[in-house]
Amino acid sequence: MASNEESLNQESLDVDEAALNEEASRELAAMVAEAEQSSNATDEESADDALLSAPQSQGERAAVIEALIFVSDEPLTVKTIADVLKEDKEVIGEAVKTLAEEFNGRNGGLQLREVAGGWQFATRPEYHEHVRAFLKTRPSAKLTIASLETLAVIAYRQPVTVPEILEIRGVQSPSAIKTLLDKKLIVAKGRKETVGRPMMYGTSKEFLLQFGLKDLSELPSVEDFHDLSGGS
C-alpha cells in the first residue's frame, strides 16, 4: 500500500513540474517578445551610442571584426559587419581578407575561413580527429555564451528569478532562460513570494547528466565552469 502511495505522489510531482515548466515557457516567450519589441524601438537610439563609433585604425578595425566573427553562432557576412561598424562594404571586405591572411599565417589550431556566404572560425582539418576524440568526452548540448553565462548564474544562485539574473548579468536573459528550459537543463521551481511573484528557476537532473555531476556539491569553481562546458 505504501509503495502505491509513493508512486502516486511521484506522479503528482511529475505532473506539477511539467505544468510549472509549461507555464514558465509561456511566460518567457512573452518576455522574449517584449524584449525584442523594446530592442527594435531603441535600435536607432543605440546606433548613436559612443561605444559603436567607427574604429580609429586598421588594427582596431581588424580586432573588432575578429571579435564579431568569434561571437557569431553562424558564418558572419561582410554586409553584417559593415552594418555594425557603419563602414563601406568594400572596405570591410578587404579588411576581412587581410585578417584571414594574417590569422591563417600563424598556422595555429584555428583558421578563419569563408563558408556559406560568411566568415567563421574553424579548427584546421589536420586536427579534426583530435577534436572529435575530445568532443566525445564533453557534454553534447551546445550553448551560446549568453546561455552559458545564464546557466552559470542559475546553477550557483538557484533558485533564482529573471529579475535576479538580470541584476547579476546586467543584461536581459529571458531568451537564454527559455533556451535552457527547452533543452531541459533547468526547471521551474515555483513562484517567489514577493512583488509580482516571479518564477524561480533551478538546474535539472538533465543538467547533472550533461555535465557529469553526481550532485550540485560537485559543481566546479565559477572560473572552471566554461571549461567544463566544452567551451561552447
Q: What is the pLDDT of residues 56-100, one digit of tens each?
A: 678 888 888 888 988 887 788 899 999 888 888 999 999 999 999
User: What contacts 24+ positions apart, CB below 8 Å, involve 149-157?
Assistant: 149/176, 150/176, 150/177, 150/180, 151/176, 151/180, 151/185, 151/186, 151/203, 151/207, 152/222, 152/225, 154/180, 154/186, 154/201, 154/202, 154/203, 155/203, 155/207, 155/216, 155/219, 155/225, 156/219, 156/222
Domain 53-133 is of which CATH architecture? Orthogonal Bundle (1.10)
Task: Quote the cell numbers at residue 125.
Answer: 582539418
**pLDDT of residue 203 exceeding 90:** yes
**The pLDDT value given to residue 45:** 54
Q: What is the pLDDT of residues 102-143, one digit of tens each?
A: 888 888 888 888 877 788 888 888 888 887 787 776 555 577
Which CATH number is 7-41+138-228's, of 3.30.230.70, 3.40.710.10, 1.10.10.10, 1.10.150.20?
1.10.10.10
Instruction: Please tell me if the domain spanning 7-41+138-228 has the same topology as the one spanning 53-133.
Output: yes
**151-187 pLDDT, tens digit each:** 989 999 999 999 999 888 877 778 888 889 998 999 9
What tens digit of pLDDT does each residue of 3-22 get? Answer: 555 554 555 556 578 888 88
| CA 14 to chain CA centroid, nearest Å | 28
**Res 226 pLDDT > 70:** no
Give the CA dihedral 126, 127, 130, 136, nearest 10 degrees: -110
Please give the pLDDT value at position 75.
81
Q: Provide the residue ranges of all domains of the chain, joining segments of one domain with +.
A: 7-41+138-228, 53-133
Phi, psi values for residue 110, rounded to 5°? -115, 160
